[in-house]
């Protein structure tokens, strides 16, 4: 790893690192916030997955998360949203596919399958890397995200209920198999067999997951993508049938932006802290 940036922040440190990813076959950057409590020993880790077009930088500078992480003694990991520097054919043509839009899947269709393996990267390779290099208690992990990242967080938790103790999401794409963003991405990354898409669809996974810990979702009622791309009612129905304790808070007038995320970040990190204590 190469450290690119370091800032003292709320008594802790906000750092940015670059490393060579064997899973993705390229150089990747990530941000990591270590709270002041990390100076005394390992602390729990919450991974934040960002949305379409974002990098690690959006949440680190706009979400206001470090203040609450310092209060609760939580480390925050901010991965990127796709492989970088590959310049595959068509990779940069759309905002919702390719660069900045890895959708946290392990692609199986060519040419994406060689590098677009973001699910393995964020759930396996990157946690192993930081867990071996920083004072982190990897037995106490939570995961959260926004929009495409909310989809990634829910899928990661539902597929790895023994690894993550907590999950939450802002404006998640809860049923990507049923909305344009997800269908476009899944067709490109996973191919036309829609049965294979269920492994990366939180609404579909609800029926089979062993996850039974509380799930917190915040959704703005003024979100321009609510009806067409997000559809939280589908996850509510699936979780009710499966017996998963889901809370969807519909926040009046809030949109899809980081103004919305920053407004409720404190609640989300309190949710994670309650599950990760001890």
**Could you write out the three-class secondary structure of the chain?**
CEEEEEEEECCEEEEEEEEEECCCCEEEEEEEEECHHHHCCCEEEEEEECCCCCCHHHHHHHCCHHHHHHHHCCEEEECCCCCCCCCCCCCCCECCEECCECCCCECCCCCHHHCCEHHHHHHHHHHHHHHHHCCEEEEEEEEEEECHHHHHHHHHHHHCCCCEEEEEEECCCCCHHHCHHHHHHHHHHHCCCHHHHHHHCHHHHCCCCCCCCCEEEEEECCCCCHHHHHCHHHHHHHHHHHCCCEEEEEECCCCCCHHHHHHHHHHHHHHHHHHHCC
Q: 6 and 53 in contact (C-beta within 8 Å)?
A: no
160 flagged as catalytic: no
Q: Which sign, positive or negative, has the C-alpha torsion 114, 116, 117, 122?
A: positive
Task: Please give the distance of CA 100 from its chain centroid, rounded to a whole number.
Answer: 13
**Active-site residue (options: 21, 50, 147, 168):** 147
**Active-site residue (options: 256, 268, 271, 272):** 256
162 flagged as catalytic: no
As given in the structure block, the two tokens for residue 217 are 């979702």
223 flagged as catalytic: yes
**Active-site residue (options: 106, 201, 218, 223):** 223
* Residue numbers annotated as active site: 147, 223, 256
């Amino acid at each position: 790893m190469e450290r690119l940036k370091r800032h003292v922040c709320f008594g802790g440190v906000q750092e940015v690192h670059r490393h060579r990813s064997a899973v993705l076959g390229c150089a990747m950057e990530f941000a990591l916030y270590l709270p002041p409590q990390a100076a005394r020993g390992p602390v729990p880790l919450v991974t934040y997955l960002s949305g379409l077009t974002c990098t690690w930088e959006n949440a680190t500078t706009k979400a206001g998360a470090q203040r609450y992480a310092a209060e609760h003694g939580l480390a925050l990991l901010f991965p990127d949203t796709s492989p970088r520097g590959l310049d595959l054919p068509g990779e940069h043509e759309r905002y919702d596919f390719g660069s900045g839009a890895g959708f946290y899947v392990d692609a199986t269709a060519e040419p994406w399958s060689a590098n677009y393996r973001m699910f393995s990267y964020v759930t396996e390779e990157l946690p192993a890397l930081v867990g071996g290099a920083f004072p982190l208690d990897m037995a106490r992990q939570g995961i959260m995200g926004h929009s495409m990242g909310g989809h990634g967080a829910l899928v990661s938790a539902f597929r790895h209920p023994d690894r993550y103790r907590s999950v939450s999401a802002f404006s998640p794409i809860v049923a990507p198999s049923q909305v344009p963003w997800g269908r476009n991405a899944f067709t490109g990354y996973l191919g036309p067999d829609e049965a294979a898409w269920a492994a990366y669809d939180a609404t579909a996974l609800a029926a089979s997951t062993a996850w039974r810990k509380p799930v917190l979702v915040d959704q703005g009622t003024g979100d321009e993508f609510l009806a067409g791309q997000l559809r939280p009612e589908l996850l509510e129905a699936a979780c009710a049938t499966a017996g998963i304790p889901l809370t969807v808070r519909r926040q009046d007038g809030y949109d899809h932006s980081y103004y919305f995320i920053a407004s409720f970040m404190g609640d989300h990190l309190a949710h994670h802290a309650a599950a990760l204590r001890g």
